[in-house]
Homo-oligomer: A and B are copies of this chain.
Amino acid sequence: MHIRAFHDDDWPALWAILAPVFAAGETYAVDRDIDARRARRYWVDQPAACLVAVDDRGQLAGSYFIKANQAGPGDHVANCGYIVAEIARGQGIAGAMCEHSQQQARSLGFTAMQYNCVVATNTSALALWQRLGFAVVGTLPGAFRHPRLGPVDAHVLYKTLAG
């Protein structure tokens, strides 16, 4: 598995990974009926960088984006989103992308990273981010409407990136 910059011809495979996750509505604060055009703007075009994880056979296994979490006096804090193809889960790809994204963020000049809305029921992601050095700095009561469980908490995670 290696991680490289997104290329235009990755989009069909990336959209095939994103679409079911957004439609399921269990982990991302994104419109569940988002279309390919808006999803591409959100994941690829608006961020500062979009990268993809590719397996040994050249198949897209995951992706992440980096952008500034705030503008102006807050633009030294990065925000990322990560996604792993359903068939590629449990192989450490999310963790590899998270570590890669921290290096990328530093090389882009960011000095901290923040996740704004880690859904409390997404316990495996939450445990992984904490293992990789993120602190849960806040909990937003009922801030995410889970499609089966109703309103659930979301967490704000933060990590200062060492120079």
Question: How many residues of chain A have a CB within 8 Å of chain B?
Answer: 37
Please tell me if A112 contacts chain B, counting CB pairs below 8 Å.
yes
Binding site for B on A (CB under 8 A): 22, 25, 28-32, 34, 70-77, 111-112, 114, 116-117, 137-147, 151, 154, 156, 158, 160
> Is the CB–CB distance between A141 and B158 below 8 Å?
yes
The 3 closest A-B pairs by CB, nearest first: A138-B138, A29-B74, A29-B70
> Is the CB–CB distance between B77 and A143 below 8 Å?
yes
A23 to B139, CA, bound (A): 32
> Is the CB–CB distance between B29 and A71 below 8 Å?
yes
> Is the CB–CB distance between B140 and A72 below 8 Å?
no
A75 to B112, CA, bound (A): 26
**Contacting residues, chain B, for A30 (C-beta < 8 A):** 71-72
> Is the CB–CB distance between B156 and A141 below 8 Å?
no
> Is the CB–CB distance between B138 and A156 below 8 Å?
yes
A25 to B117, CA, bound (A): 26
Instruction: Kindly identify which residue among B25, B71, B74 contacts A72, using a CB–CB cutoff of 8 Å.
Output: B25
